[in-house]
Amino acid sequence: MPGILSKHPVFFQAGCFVFSSLPIRDYDTVVTFEKSTGIFNRLGTVVIKLILEHIQIIYNHAERTYPEECCGILLGNLTDGDKIALEVIPTENAWNTEAAYFPADRSLYSSKKRYAIAPQTMLQIQREARNRALNIIGIYHSHPDYPPIPSAWDSLYAWVEYSYIIVSVQNGKARECQSWSLDDYHQFQSEIIEQTT
């Protein structure tokens, strides 16, 4: 299992949270990447910590929904500049029902190239997390038959505070994960995924 995961942008538009899929796919353009300048730990790099079970939940969800994109939420805390995931919550990809809020994309994309988390799902999870003294620290999604690299669409709707984990699923098998976060210039920077016990 790879030691590095990817980040995915989350966005709120027209009343729903939407998460995109992959870059350069037919209609997208590639986002530029540089050294990490987001939230820093002692060594000056962004770190998100997950246990093996979290990674396995993400991989299983991605394989189960292939060739559609999967999506989900990471709950946890910020500690000494590191993001520590304590729970991974798979969610339904609501893109096909929420696409009406994105008229330009409705005919071009499906849940094979886009994802959305329904606003009521996001708000419910946020409320439950707060009641347990946790935070939403990130979003994950899959890229069916494409690398785990954020798209321009991903960048457009991403939030600076979140980690975006992208898993590449090739021919139905999860192959690689990468984590990303936005810097102060709204550019994606690679995050280190640290597997903890």
Q: How confident is the model at residue 166 (pLDDT cuts 50, 70, 90)?
A: very high
pLDDT digits (tens, 9 = 90+) for 111-146: 677 888 999 999 999 999 999 999 999 999 999 999
CATH code matching the domain that covers 11-127+136-196, chosen among 3.40.140.10, 1.20.210.10, 1.10.10.10, 1.10.3720.10: 3.40.140.10
What's the CA angle centered on 15, arms 6 and 29, to 5 degrees? 40
Identify which has the larger pLDDT, 79 or 165.
165
pLDDT number for residue 151: 82
Give the residue, 151 or 78, on which the prediction is more confident.
78
Query: Considering only CA atoms, which of 4, 1, 43 is closest in space to residue 175?
Result: 1
Q: How confident is the model at residue 153 (pLDDT cuts 50, 70, 90)?
A: confident
The separation between CA 151 and the C-alpha centre of its own chain, rounded to angstroms, equals 11
Q: Is the pLDDT of residue 149 over 80?
A: yes
What is the C-alpha to C-alpha distance for residues 105 and 135, in angstroms, rounded to an integer? Answer: 30
Which residue ranges make up each domain of the chain?
Answer: 11-127+136-196
- Which pLDDT belongs to residue 12? 34
Instruction: Report pLDDT digits (tens) over 5-46.
Output: 333 333 333 333 333 333 333 323 333 333 333 333 333 467
For the cut 50, the answer to whether the pLDDT of residue 193 exceeds it is yes
More confident residue, 54 or 40: 54
pLDDT in tens, 73-116: 999 999 888 999 999 999 999 988 876 666 555 555 666 778 88
Q: What is the pTM of this model?
A: 0.76
Residue-level pLDDT at 97: 81
Helices and strands, number each (H, E), in the chain: 5, 11
CB-CB contact of 109 with 151 (8 Å): no
Q: Half-sphere exposure of 82 toward its Cβ, with a 13 Å CA cutoff? A: 16
Contacts of 110 (CB under 8 A, 6+ apart): 68, 95, 96
Neighbours of 83 (CB within 10 A): 26
8 Å CB contact between 73 and 195: no
